Amino acid sequence: MLGRPNDNGLAQIDRSEIDTFDRTHWQFSKKHINILMLAIVYKHVAIPIFWKLLDNGKGNSKKDDRIELIELFKATFPDITIVKLLADREFVGKDWFKWLNKNELTFCIPIRKNNVVRRKGRKDTVPVERLFGEVKCKGDVKHLSKAVEVCGQKLFLSAVRYEDGSLTILASNQFKGVDLLNEYKLRWQIETLFSCFKSRGLDIEASHLTLPERMSKLVAVLSLAFAWAYVSGEWLNKQKPIEMKFKGKEKACLAFSFFRVGLSHLAKACMKILSSFQFAFEPMAFIHLLR
């Protein structure tokens, strides 16, 4: 089941976009709801554009699923160019990388530590983790100056050890070095989106819908609601700046996100509208008011 927000005006936003892929999953009773989503990176969040309800339980998406959404994007917005495609390590594969290169789509995707690579001038392959053995401490970073063969494609690699101790190895067919790390940071915007769709705001899981057709329509409605709330929060911040909170001695961030502020504002406005309708349809209350 495919879905899209019914808003062709999106084609007027820009003629080049950074897109990100990800998948979200939850379970209601014995039914798995598994959604593959393509979103546009917009400032500090990702805006949903196309999605597909997968019918493989909680399994990963397939190459054909991803290609289907990209082709749908191209057909719907022919004047918009996807300048970058960001995704998680689930979106790795020989045929997938080959298709991206063939279609001249620049991508930035982490690969698994056990992926094998072939270095230039060598016939043997080694696990990619061996190339970054010295990246041991938190904050350590290493960039390979030359492209290596991964999944049959020539790619640039960089690795970083995060604060939680995890090692992330990034691959790109264009970016390298610091640029590769900076580009990958944008992928986290879709994690923010899924967080807002779930417990932090719209609570899609509480719908208890399981039929793909109905869930796809609900995602469309929530996508519009999410975009409306975020843009409203942006506007409200311009009218009255949101207070800041500090993490540590130097880091500062908004006490409330644009989405949270906008959603609260829209919720209050809707409640006032509903209460006015309720009053209008209660004749006795209206008569009492006339007295």
Instruction: Determine contact, residues 205/32, Cβ cutoff 8 Å.
Output: no
pLDDT at residue 13, as a whole number: 42
CA of 225: how far to CAs of 48, 92, 201, 231, 259, in Å? 11, 32, 11, 10, 10
Q: What number of H helices and E strands is found in the chain?
A: 7, 14
Q: Quick one: pLDDT at residue 290?
A: 46
Q: Does this model's pTM top 0.75?
A: yes
In the chain, where the domains are located = 208-290
Q: Please list the residues that pair with 17 across neighbouring strands.
A: 82
* pLDDT in the model for residue 213: 92
Helices 188-197 & 212-239, crossing angle to 10 degrees?
110
pLDDT one digit per residue (tens) for the chain, 291 residues? 555 554 444 434 445 678 999 999 999 988 999 999 999 998 878 999 999 999 998 889 999 999 999 999 999 999 888 889 999 989 999 999 999 999 999 999 999 988 999 988 787 889 999 999 899 899 999 999 899 999 999 999 999 998 888 899 999 999 999 999 998 988 988 988 999 999 878 999 999 999 999 999 999 999 999 999 999 999 999 999 888 877 665 567 777 888 999 999 998 888 887 777 665 556 555 555 444
Specify the pLDDT at position 167. 92
Please give the full DSSP string across 105-173, using - where no structure is assigned: --EEEEE-TT-EEE-TT----EEGGGGGTT--STT-EEE-SS-EEETTEEEEEEEEE-TTS-EEEEEES
pLDDT value for 97: 95
